Structure 1
Amino acid sequence: MTLVTTATANLVEVFSAIQGEGLNVGTRQIFIRFGGCDLRCWFCDSANTWKADSQCRIEETPGQRDFKIYPNPIEEEQLLSWIKQQHQPRLHDSISLTGGEPLLHAKFLQQFLPKLKAITQLPIYLETGGHRPQQLSLILDQLDCIGMDMKLPSVSGEERWLAHKEFLQICIPQKEVFVKLIVSNETTEADLQQARSIIAEVSSEIPVILQPVTPLEGNSPTPPTAEQVLFWQSFFKEALSEVRVIPQTHKMIGQL
C-alpha cells in the first residue's frame, strides 16, 4: 500500500467517545479514524478499515451518534471544520488519530496537525501498529502521546520486530509512549521474551499494557486465562517498571 501524499485523506469516521484502551482509558476523545491498513491481524475488530472506502461518516453532535455520510477523500479544511464542530468547551481531553493505520497518511498529517493543534489546543494521541518508523519521524514533533500496538506473531499473524524496535528508539526520549500487547491463550513464550527484550533494551521505563484479546464472531483467538495473564505480568515486571492489564473497556459499556 502506498502512502497518501496529497492534502486529502481517506477517512472512516469522526466521532466523540470514551477511550477504552491503553493508558488513556476512560478519557473523552475526538476520534479521527483513517481508512487503509497494511497489516492483517487475526484479532482485528476493525477489519472494515483495512481498505479505503468511497465514503466516510461524520458525527454531527458529540457522543450522539447522529452520523452523516460524506464522500472520500476529504480535504483538510473540511476535516478541520468537523473537528471545530466536535470541539465543545471542556468536553474532550485529547484527539485520537486511529485507523486503520494513521501513519499511511503521514504526509497529510504533516500539514494537518499544526492546524489542528492551533484550533483545539488539545493533545494529539496516535494509535498505531508501530511498524512505520520513517513515517512517524515526519509528524513526531506534533504528537503528545503514542500508543504502539506491538504485534506478537502468535496472536496477530504479523512479525515486525525490527520495525517495532526502530519505532520505539525514535520515540524515546522525545515523546510519551506506551506499548500495548494483545494476548490470547495462543500467545507463545518466545514472543513474550522477544517483546520484553526489545522494550527493555530501548527503555525499561516504557509502560506496557497487556490487553486480553476480545472474542469476535466466528473463528477468532480465545482470551487467555487469569493464570496466564498473572504469570505474564510477573514475567514482564522482572525487566520493566510499569506493566498493566487492561481489557477493551469501551466494549464493556456497549460503546462499540
Structure 2
Amino acid sequence: MESTNTAPLIELFSAIQGEGANVGTRQLFIRFAGCDLRCRYCDSAHTWHPPRQCQIELTPGERDFISVPNPVTLEQLLTWCDRQNHPGLHDSISLTGGEPLLQAKFLSQLLPRLKQRTSLPLYLETGGHHPDALPPLLPYLDSIGMDIKLPSVSGECHWSAHRTFLELCHQAKVDVFCKVIISHATSDRDREQLRSLIAAIDPHIPIFLQPVTPIGTGRHTLPPDPGQVLLWQAALKEHLRIVRVIPQTHKFIQQR
C-alpha cells in the first residue's frame, strides 16, 4: 500500500539535465524507485524495483554519496534537499524515476513543502499513463515532461491515458512538453497517431523527438537513420508547431 509519509528512492543528486525542454540546465534530481512499464529501450531498468538502499549525494556535484535504507521519510528527503540547495545553483527540481506518480500520495505531501523551502520550480518527469494521480499535484508543478510511448518502439500502448493526461495539463495551464523516443522500428501508424493526439489538444505543445540511445543500456534497439528522422520531423510539423530532435545529451558528456 502506498504510504503518505515514506517513499522508495533510487537516488538524490545534482546534475545537468540531458533531455527535453530543460536540456543543459542544472537540476536537483529526486529519482523515485518503482515503475510499472517495461519499455524495450529502457536505460533505467535498475529503477523498476525499489532497492534496499538508496544513494544520497551530500554535496552538489561532488558525488559523495551515502547509502540510506529504503523507504525514506518526508523529513529525511526535505533535509537532503535543503543541504543540496546552494543559492543560485539549481534551475529547478526534477521529480523523476522510475515512475514518480506511483508515489502520488507522498508527492502530495512533499511538493508544497518543497516549494516553500526551496522556492525552486518543480518539474515532473513521467510516463503520462497515470492521469488519475495528477490533479492533486498540478497546483504545485511548474512544468511537466511527459513521455509518449510509441507501441512500435516501446512495446507499451497507452494512447488513451496519454490523451487524458495531456488534457488535464492543458486545462490547468501548466507548461507541458512531450518526449517521444524514436527508433529504427518507429511505425508510420504511431507517428500519425502521435500527430493527431497532440494536434487535437493543442498543436503548440512542444514535441521532443529523442533518437534511442544505445550507449550504456545493454539493449539492442536500433536508432533511426538520418533520413527517417528528417522524414518524421517534417511529417509532424505539417500540423504541430514545435518539433525538435534532441538526443540524450547527458550520455555524451558523462553526466549521471
The two structures have a TM-score, normalised by structure 1, of 0.97
* Change over 3 Å in CA distance of 1:14–1:219 after alignment to 2: closer
Residue 54 of structure 1: how far off its partner (Å): 1.3
2:155 maps to which of 138, 154, 157: 157
Residue 220 of structure 1: how far off its partner (Å): 1.8
| Structure 1 equivalent of residue 241 of structure 2 | 241
Once residues 239 and 117 of structure 2 are traced to their aligned partners in structure 1, the CA distance between those partners, rounded to angstroms, is: 41
| Structure 1 equivalent of residue 98 of structure 2 | 100
Letter matched to residue 206 of structure 1: I
Once residues 220 and 142 of structure 2 are traced to their aligned partners in structure 1, the CA distance between those partners, rounded to angstroms, is: 33
| Structure 2 equivalent of residue 24 of structure 1 | 22
Letter matched to residue 34 of structure 1: F
1:145-187 CA-partner distances (Å, limit 9, x unpaired): 0000000001100000000000000000420000010000010
Residue 66 of structure 1: how far off its partner (Å): 1.0
Task: Name structure 1 gaps, 5 residues minimum.
Answer: none
Is 2:167 the counterpart of 1:169? yes
Letter matched to residue 95 of structure 1: I
| Structure 2 equivalent of residue 207 of structure 1 | 206
Task: Name structure 2 gaps, 5 residues minimum.
Answer: none
Is 2:195 the counterpart of 1:196? yes
The two structures have a TM-score, normalised by structure 2, of 0.97
Letter matched to residue 38 of structure 1: D
Contact 2:41 2:219 in 1 (8 A): no
Residue 218 of structure 1: how far off its partner (Å): 4.3
Residue 138 of structure 1: how far off its partner (Å): 1.9
Contact 1:58 1:69 in 2 (8 A): yes
| Structure 2 equivalent of residue 88 of structure 1 | 86
Once residues 62 and 12 of structure 1 are traced to their aligned partners in structure 2, the CA distance between those partners, rounded to angstroms, is: 17
Once residues 182 and 43 of structure 1 are traced to their aligned partners in structure 2, the CA distance between those partners, rounded to angstroms, is: 9
Contact 1:32 1:95 in 2 (8 A): yes
Is 2:219 the counterpart of 1:223? no
Aligned residue pairs: how many?
254
Once residues 5 and 218 of structure 1 are traced to their aligned partners in structure 2, the CA distance between those partners, rounded to angstroms, is: 33
Residue 254 of structure 1: how far off its partner (Å): 1.1
Contact 1:110 1:138 in 2 (8 A): yes
The percent of aligned pairs where both chains have the same amino acid is 60
